[in-house]
Amino acid sequence: MGLLQRVHGGALPSPPALPFERRLEIGQQEKRALAIAALPLVESARTLVLDGGTTAVELASRLPSSWEGTVVTNAPPVAAALAGHPGAGVVVVGGRLLKAEQVTVGPVAVDAFRAVHADVCVLGVCALDPLVGATAVDGEEAHVKRAMVGCSRKVVVLATRDKLHTSYPWVVAGLEEIDDLVTDGPKDLTNAFAVAGVNVVAV
Q: What distance separates the 2 farthest-apart alpha carbons in the chain?
A: 54
Q: Where are the domains of the chain?
A: 16-202
Average pLDDT, the chain: 91
Query: What digits encode the pLDDT tens for the residues 128-185?
Result: 999 999 999 999 999 999 999 999 999 999 999 999 999 999 999 999 999 999 999 9
The mean per-residue pLDDT over the stretch 73-83 comes to: 97
Per-residue confidence (pLDDT) for residue 17, from 0 to 100: 54
- pLDDT-derived band at 19 (thresholds 50, 70, 90) equals low
Query: What digits encode the pLDDT tens for the residues 28-66?
Result: 788 999 999 999 999 999 999 999 999 999 999 999 999
CATH topology assigned to domain 16-202: Rossmann fold (3.40.50)
75 pLDDT higher than 90:
yes
Strands of the chain, DSSP E: 4-7, 10-13, 47-50, 69-73, 88-92, 96-98, 103-105, 118-124, 127-129, 133-136, 152-159, 170-173, 180-183, 199-202
78 pLDDT higher than 70:
yes
The mean per-residue pLDDT over the stretch 3-20 comes to: 54
The mean per-residue pLDDT over the stretch 99-108 comes to: 95
Residue 164 carries which DSSP code? B
Question: Which H helix or E strand runs over 186?
Answer: none
Per-residue confidence (pLDDT) for residue 26, from 0 to 100: 60
